[in-house]
Each structure stands twice: as C-alpha cells, then as structure tokens.
C-alpha cells in the first residue's frame, strides 16, 4: 500500500484491520474456545459474539485466577425486580487477556448512544476494539432497533458511532468500527458509507448481502470496490465479509476488489483451520480439528451444549461420529463416542466441575436450576465446586491452558 494513502490514525492500543484475515462475530460460534482455536490456526483478529449493551451494563469485572481470564458477571433477574435467592452468578462475557492480547474486538448490540458508551466503557480496557453491530438481520437483534435495523435509522447509527469515537477512543486508546450490510441500491449504500466513514471510525466491515438475504444466497460483490474506494478516501480500513472460505481466497479477494482485509464466518465455524494458508498446511482434517476442539473446550470448562452444537457443525453429517455426538449428554459420553480415550479422565473431571448429570432429564434439569435461563441472549451459568474453589463458566467463555497442537485421532 502506498505510503501517501490517507489513514485515520490508529489509537495506541487499537488494531489496524488492514492486511488481516479475521474471525466474524457469530452467536454461539464465537465463544472463547472457538476464538482461541481460530487464533491457533492463524486468525489475525477475532470478534466475540454480539453482546447487547443492557446485558453488559451492571456486570462486575472479575479476574479468575484459575483460568487466567477476565469475566464480566452478574446475577440474572429473570425479569423480576429482585433476583431469586437461589440465583447463581452468570458470566456475560469472558476474555483471555494473554491469548487474545491485541487481537480481540468486542461487538456491541445497541440502539442508543448513551447505553453504547456505558457498555463499551466497562470492557474497553480489556479489549482492543469496539465494533457496532449494524448488520445482523435476526429478530433478537433487530426487534429493539439494533443490528440491521440501524441501517434504516442512519442518524441514530451515526450518533452511536460519534458518541463512541468521542468518549471511548480517546479515553481507552482503541478504535471504533462498524459492521453493515448492503442496502437495496448502490446509491443508498454509497450514501450510508460516506456518512459512516465521516464519524471518525477506524474500520468498516461490509457484509456483501442485503438484510433479507440468507447465508445460502451467494454474496454480492459488485459494490465492493466502490465501498473500498470511499473508505480509502476517508482513511478508514475496509474489511469484506460474505462467502470468504480461506486465507488464500481472502488474499485473492483483497487484491481483486481493493479492500483492506477479509472476515470469515461459516467456513471458520465448520473448520477454523481455514485461517491457515496452503503454504502452512492448508485445511486440516476435520477429525484433527475436532480432537483439538474437544480438548480445548474441556480445558476452558465450556458449556456442554455449546460444545455439542459446534461439533455438529465441524463433523460431516455422513460420518458415524456425527450421530454418536448427537446422542451424548456429557463430556464423558462425548469422549467415549469419539474414541478419545486419552481424554476420559479429564472428561469425567469436567462433568463433575460443571455439575453435568446425564441421568437427569432436560426438563427436570431446567426446573431444578433456574439460573439456566439466559439473560439478554448472551448470558449463561457458572457452577461452583466448593471443595476445589473453582468458578467455571458453563457458557464456554473462560480459558485455562490451550490444548496441545498435536492431532487427536477420532474413531469414525
């Protein structure tokens, strides 16, 4: 890139999105274990899942000495004025400050400038970028005027970005970015992008689909160069998203469309080794990746339901391991089903620490544990083993040690 091209100054602690291939923000698929595995395979930056402003506001920041994570926790209210006396503390968001240092971007779901600043201020000292979600089309985000709904209220979206730029950027020395989708016409998209890059943001990610489009529909790239040119004129980094499947493909797309970086979503959910170039080994076999992921999820005390969900994305549906995984109810059963005998002892320990009892029905388990109710779609329970004095997140967003790089064989 020519040295004379304008660039918005990158704050001291902020990240520059140029030349990066990054992990997209994904609900359920962007928890800490997945982020750490993506980083291991070469992701340059990782986005956590969208976290709603009101979900993070009111949390308490805690350092977990067992897992070496920073956890933002609260006692869920379940919609009541006073939380039940037996309500357990929940983890809303968790960060591994060592393994994610300089690479974690916090995505916020918001439709209010003041709430956005309040929420961002709580986590800004522990992350390296704040990204506003203005692209999610799902009802849980748009129903409150957040996500893709902000594309219809550009004045509000710009006011949110300006508030974050004016308050968070100078105080915490990190950049502010936004993720959007295409509008119906190129003219509408151009007008919006010009307004957004004038707010003082350092980065803009464009998902190359319109709001009504779904992942099965091919990304539209005809407007990419126009968007990239507008961003470059303003000195703002432009990252593309949509049907990017590997690091090598990302490099070709960056060259073809003149964008600064690329974001991978679905392909990373299926196999995070997509961040590794062909020169470095390329896409790893699914069984190797699954073995590493299972080990890592137990190392970090990941919620079993989340682990199982991600495995059903990683394991090909025609494999026997897919059916076996579906039938499991705990880590012990999972490792047995996948032929991970060397992990059985750790699996039993993890089930004990997370208080997982596969003999209990799902209905009874929910009835006996009110704290299983999520708050704001972004919270989950923590369980305590008093004899060990360990506080592990059942949401899967705390970390201890990364799993070894060695491949783990699976029986199929």
Positions annotated as catalytic residues are 136
CA dihedral of residues 121, 125, 126, 129 (deg, nearest 10)? 70
Judge contact between 276 and 283, C-beta under 8 A.
yes
Q: How far is CA 67 from CA 94, 96, 176, 206, in A?
A: 10, 8, 29, 35
Neighbours of 212 (CB within 10 A): 10
For strands 90-95 and 69-74, give the pairing.
antiparallel
In which order are the strands placed within the sheet that holds 60-64? 60-64, 69-74, 90-95, 380-385, 390-393
Measure CA of the first residue to CA of the last residue in the chain; give whole Å: 47
Beta strands 129-134 and 175-182, pairing class: parallel
At what angle are helices 286-299 and 344-353 packed, to 10 degrees?
A: 40
Q: Is 63 exposed, middle or buried (0-12, 13-18, 19+ CB in 10 A)?
A: exposed
User: Cα separation of 268 and 297, whole Å?
Assistant: 16
């Amino acid at each position: 890139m020519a040295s004379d091209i304008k660039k918005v100054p990158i704050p001291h602690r902020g990240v520059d999105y140029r030349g990066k291939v990054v992990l997209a923000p994904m609900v359920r698929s962007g928890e800490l274990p997945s982020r750490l595995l993506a980083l291991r395979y070469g992701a340059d930056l990782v986005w956590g899942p969208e976290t709603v402003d009101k979900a993070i506001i009111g949390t308490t920041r805690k350092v977990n000495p067992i897992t070496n994570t920073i956890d933002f926790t609260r006692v869920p209210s379940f919609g009541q004025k006073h939380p039940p006396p037996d309500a357990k503390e929940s983890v809303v968001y968790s960060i591994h400050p060592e393994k994610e240092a300089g690479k974690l971007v916090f995505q916020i779901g918001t439709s209010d400038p003041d709430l956005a600043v309040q929420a961002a201020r709580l986590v800004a000292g522990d992350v390296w970028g704040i990204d506003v979600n203005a692209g999610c089309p799902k009802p849980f985000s748009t129903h409150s005027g957040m996500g893709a709904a902000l594309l219809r209220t550009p004045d509000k979206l710009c006011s949110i970005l300006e508030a974050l730029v004016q308050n968070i950027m100078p105080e915490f020395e990190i950049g502010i970015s936004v993720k959007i989708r295409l509008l119906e016409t190129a003219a509408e998209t151009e007008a919006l992008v010009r307004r957004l890059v004038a707010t003082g943001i350092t980065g803009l990610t464009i998902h190359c689909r319109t709001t009504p489009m779904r992942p099965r529909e091919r990304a539209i790239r005809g407007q990419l160069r126009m968007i990239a040119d507008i961003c470059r004129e303003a000195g703002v980094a432009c990252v593309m998203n949509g049907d990017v499947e590997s690091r090598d493909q990302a490099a070709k797309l960056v060259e073809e469309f003149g964008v600064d970086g690329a974001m991978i979503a679905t392909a990373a959910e299926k196999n995070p080794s997509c961040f590794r170039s062909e020169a470095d080994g390329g896409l790893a076999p699914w069984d190797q990746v699954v073995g590493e992921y299972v080990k890592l999820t137990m190392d970090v005390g990941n919620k079993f339901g989340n682990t199982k969900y991600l495995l059903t994305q990683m394991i090909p549906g025609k494999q026997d391991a897919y059916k076996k995984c579906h039938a499991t109810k705990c880590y012990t059963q999972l490792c047995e089903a996948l032929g991970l005998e060397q992990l059985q002892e750790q699996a039993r320990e993890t089930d004990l620490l997370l208080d997982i009892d596969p003999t209990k029905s799902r209905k009874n388990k929910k009835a006996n544990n009110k704290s299983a109710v999520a708050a704001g779609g972004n919270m989950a329970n923590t369980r305590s083993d008093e004899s060990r004095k360990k506080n592990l997140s059942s949401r899967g967003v705390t970390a201890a040690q990364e799993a070894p790089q060695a491949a783990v064989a699976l029986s199929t």
